[in-house]
Amino acid sequence: MSNINLFAKTNFRGEGKVFGIKKEDRRLHMYIIGKTGMGKTSLISNMALNDIYNGSGICLIDPHGDMIENLLDYIPSWRINDVIYFNPADINYPIALNILENKEPERRHLVVSGLISVFRKLYGEYWQHSQEHILRNAILALLDYPGDKTLLDIYQMLSDWRFRKQIVDQIKDPIVRSFWKNEFSKYVYQSKGEALVPIQNKLGAFLSTPLIRNIVGQPKSKIDFREVMDNQKILLVNLAKGRIGEDNSAFLGSLIITKLQLAAISRIDIPEEQRKDFYLFVDEFQNFVSPETFEGILSEARKYRLCLTLAHQYIGQLDEDLTKAIFGNVGTIIAFPIGAENGEMLGKEFYPEFKREDLTNHDKYHIYLKLAIDGKSSKLFSALTLPPFFKFERQGNKDKVIKVSKFQYATRKDVVKKIENLNR
């Protein structure tokens, strides 16, 4: 098993020396920025395949779909059984994903904060504290309930008084119980439910779609994310926006990142030296994270051996807090050709070795980077990424990989537990 993931070669005086990043340094995380068509996809694909052939566990989240579609054909035969292909566009074979099934009392706050961050991200500037307060108490109530509950039950909790009474009658937490007994009614009747209705509308929009409902409405998840991390599985998440819609892509990607974060934190029950490194690649990561929680993910992930590689196109996609979280918490920064507006920000990060003009005028596959080496960031230098699939041969296993993954993790649409409507 190699300790170094090779991804580029030096271009100083034509030496062309191939280099990479050590396993230990990947725990400090990697950040990749560059315009479309400049080589980001090839770099991520090469690194992911290096990990796959090395026997490591990975998750790749692709909001476009093309990268994963190509990668499937390079999976070696000896790793086919390790692949989980999560493809929501395949509505005939949904894979169940229940964010509310983790009911351990000591981790409930993590489920709540993860879900809140998902909805905060989706609502953006329209998110209100009153909406967060209602949603938080709905999630806590369902987590306190002894039976199986899903995201569909949040909608019912807010819209069906009979169902709500059934849940509230079994809540043990006195603060949560008090909210539903004494406080909730004011949100229903005051100001025509201005805090309540937006939550119902947003949830209803997602859950009325069979594509989403058949994934998040099943009580038992088919994917055990802790097992994925500990047993070095390959989780390929195809969230092609063109096939499932931008909001659905962002929603499911956010849920999966939350599930991975929860699984990583649960590793506190084993010694740090026994935690196997797991590599999470997220393209267009800004679609799936909120600034309020992401700095915590970056700082916490390394001790649980969740190693992040984050990619996107331009800094304008990030708000100020998220930008600070990235540059304050990643060990390796890689810049492909970028626009002038990005050069201003990265020019400050890379000064004095390179100026803004250097970052905007180089060629495809040409990168500038600060590389984490033995726990410290190197001085900035330039390099060329290795060619696409530089040492990997097409295996022709794509159809078999998909078939085996469906057999192990998906449920045929015709035998999925029927969820005819939101009120069941």
User: Which structural domain range is residue 131 located in?
Assistant: 105-210
Q: Are residues 182 and 285 in the same domain?
A: no
Q: Which residues are bridge partners to 381 per DSSP? A: 369
Task: Let me know if residue 251 belongs to a domain.
Answer: yes
**CA contacts within 13 A on the Cβ side of 114:** 24
| Predicted local confidence at residue 423, as pLDDT | 43
Alpha carbon of residue 251 to chain centroid: 10
Task: Let me know if residue 226 belongs to a domain.
Answer: no
Q: Are residues 206 and 240 in the same domain?
A: no
Give how many domains the chain has, as a whole number.
2
Q: For residue 353, name the pLDDT band (cuts at 50, 70, 90).
A: low
102-107: average pLDDT: 74
Q: Are residues 247 and 384 in the same domain?
A: yes
Query: Would you state the structure tokens that stand for residue 282, as one six-digit string?
Result: 């997220």
Q: Are residues 241 and 183 in the same domain?
A: no
Residue scoring higher pLDDT (423 or 63): 63
Q: Are residues 255 and 375 in the same domain?
A: yes
Q: Are residues 344 and 280 in the same domain?
A: yes
Cβ-based neighbour number of residue 420 at 10 Å: 7
Q: For residue 342, name the pLDDT band (cuts at 50, 70, 90).
A: low
Task: Let me know if residue 85 belongs to a domain.
Answer: no
pTM of the model: 0.93
183-209: average pLDDT: 80
323-351: average pLDDT: 79
334-348: average pLDDT: 73
Task: Let me know if residue 72 belongs to a domain.
Answer: no
Query: Would you state the structure tokens that stand for residue 44, as one six-digit string?
Result: 């991520």
Domain boundary among 175, 210, 245: 210
Please name the residues in contact with 397: beta carbons below 8 A apart, sequence gap of 6 or more.
Answer: 72, 73, 75, 76, 77, 80
301 pLDDT above the threshold of 70:
yes
Q: For residue 204, name the pLDDT band (cuts at 50, 70, 90).
A: confident
CATH of the domain at 276: 3.40.50.300
Amino acid at 218: Q
Task: Let me know if residue 179 belongs to a domain.
Answer: yes
| Predicted local confidence at residue 9, as pLDDT | 95
Residue scoring higher pLDDT (286 or 342): 286
| Predicted local confidence at residue 344, as pLDDT | 65
Q: Are residues 201 and 281 in the same domain?
A: no
| Predicted local confidence at residue 421, as pLDDT | 46
Q: Are residues 242 and 193 in the same domain?
A: no
Task: Let me know if residue 91 belongs to a domain.
Answer: no
Taking only the tens place, the pLDDT of each residue in 222-233 is 999 999 999 999
Q: Are residues 240 and 378 in the same domain?
A: yes
Task: Let me know if residue 204 belongs to a domain.
Answer: yes
Q: Are residues 190 and 258 in the same domain?
A: no
Q: Are residues 40 and 161 in the same domain?
A: no
Taking only the tens place, the pLDDT of each residue in 143-170 is 999 888 999 999 999 989 999 999 999 9
Task: Let me know if residue 59 belongs to a domain.
Answer: yes
Q: Are residues 41 and 121 in the same domain?
A: no
Q: Which residues are bridge partners to 31 per DSSP? A: 310, 333
413 pLDDT above the threshold of 60:
yes
Residue scoring higher pLDDT (353 or 144): 144
Beginning with the edge strand found earlier in the chain, give each strand of the sheet holding 18-22 in spatial order: 18-22, 4-10, 381-385, 366-370, 332-335, 30-33, 306-312, 278-283, 57-62, 234-238, 83-86
